[in-house]
Amino acid sequence: MKTLKLPHVGRAWLAGGAATIAAVAVMTWAFMPRPVEVEVAVAATGRFEAAVEEDAKTRLRDRYVVSAPLAGQLARIALREGDAVAAGAVVAQLTPVLSPMLDERTRREQQARLEVTEAQLQRASARAEGARVALLQARNDAQRSEQLAKQGFVSPTRLESDRLAALAAQQELDAATGDQHAAGHEVEQARAALGAVRNAPAGAPRAFAVRSPVSARVLRVAQASEATVALGAPLLELGDVAGLEVVAELLTADALQVHTGAPVAIEHWGGETALRGRVRLVEPGAFTKVSALGVEEQRVRVLVDIASPPADWSALGDGYRVTVRVLTMAKDGVTKVPVSAVFPLPSSMGGPGARMGVFVVDGGRARLTPVVIGARNPTEAWVREGLPVGARVIVYPPSAVGDGVRVKVRTV
């Protein structure tokens, strides 16, 4: 059998053709668009929360200014800021100046002051009674929610909100009761001052003891040195550091999303964990505040009660800076994606309500998918429609990514 041999020229043509084909293949591979490397995240189901975050500060919920119940010579006050005083303890000594106090005008002034303090006592008593009714209602609501929660008719969020409402109602009753006691003390002081004027002794005047209306700490001494003071002059400022509240000044647009009873996380206060709180009041009136950039802003004060045990925040004091995160929305069992995967679509794209979009990785290519967003927070977006659970979406999509572009998932 004979072997067929190609001529030398034929072999050269075959070698050249093979080289040309290889060169074309290399050039085609070199200029072929490569897949764009991307990072992906999986659309998952879970709890979505939206909140308003703002700097805030603590302040005493109730302050008491101890004033001079009558005009006279004030002895030097030995108390200093931070000292603890008990209810009824003597905090100052006044020696009445009897010569001008024995006239009819002075007696009328003391009588008027007594009537004013009695009216304040009536208002404080009415507030305390209203707080007792509110506490009873809050406890009933909390018990009802606990029963319904056991049967699965009430969400855990609602149950927690009702429990916080009952706790806040108890704090309100405690504050109202304290005001009632303080008002009663003011009545006693005014009545004693009137008696000192009416029954002034013929000899040297006796010192009049000014007593503390509540058990508290001294916040400020207005008049420490011995001096002659007029009727109603402030002497001391007292407050109970255990009765702290948090005051946040929110933008009016953010305050519209906040409702009474909303849960609050108090952060960056110096402790290891965040404190629990509850919105007690959103003040109805706004005010203008100039920002650090010189922009006028309309803001509203939001008052927050601290719901964590006092032992957890005993180091906090009046005027401390904190950060509050007020929960404005909470949804369970919703589809979530990283907020970095969502971007606005042109007005010509998407269906009704779908003005946002994501890139979904499908078969090695990016597919532009219009979605309907329910809400967003700094890290997550709630997808109402348009995206199935488990879909892989591109986060921080590069500018080279477009609909149908080949992509490659970057691995860490």
Torsion angle of the four alpha carbons 84, 87, 88, 89, in this order, in degrees rounded to the nearest 10? -10
Q: What is the identity of the amino acid at 33?
A: P
pLDDT-derived band at 52 (thresholds 50, 70, 90) equals: very high
For the ranges 65-74, 119-128, 150-159, the lowest mean pLDDT is seen at: 150-159
Tokens of 117: 């303090």
Q: Is the pTM of this model over 0.95?
A: no
The per-residue pLDDT for 252 is 93
Question: Mean pLDDT across the stretch 202-216?
Answer: 74
Burial readout 205-224 (b: 16 or more C-beta within 10 A, e: otherwise): beebebbbbbebbbbebebe
Q: Quick: pLDDT tens for 280-319.
A: 889 989 999 988 888 899 999 999 999 888 888 888 888 8
Domains 37-48+332-409 and 50-58+243-331 share a fold: no
pLDDT-derived band at 248 (thresholds 50, 70, 90) equals: very high
Pick the CATH number of 65-239 from 1.10.287, 3.40.50, 1.10.3280, 1.20.120: 1.10.287
Residue length of the chain? 412
CA dist., res. 78 & res. 93, Å (int)? 11
CA distances from 110 to 69, 116, 181, 193, 209 (A): 8, 10, 21, 7, 16
CA dist., res. 198 & res. 110, Å (int)? 10
Burial readout 99-110 (b: 16 or more C-beta within 10 A, e: otherwise): eebeeeebeebb
Residue 200 pLDDT greater than 60, yes or no: no
Are 274 and 260 spatial neighbours (Cβ–Cβ below 8 Å)? no
207: left (phi over 0), alpha (psi -120 to 50) or beta: beta
- CATH fold of the domain at 50-58+243-331: Elongation Factor Tu (Ef-tu); domain 3 (2.40.30)
319: left (phi over 0), alpha (psi -120 to 50) or beta: left
The CATH code of the domain at 37-48+332-409 is: 2.40.420.20
**10: CB partners within 8 A, 6+ apart:** none
- CA–CA–CA angle 244, 56, 283 (5° rounding): 80
Highest average pLDDT, of 20-34, 93-107, 184-198, 218-232, comes from: 218-232
Domain locations in the chain as residue ranges: 37-48+332-409, 50-58+243-331, 65-239
Q: Quick: pLDDT tens for 89-130.
A: 888 888 876 554 455 666 677 777 777 777 887 888 888 888
For tokens 């007594």, the residue is 114
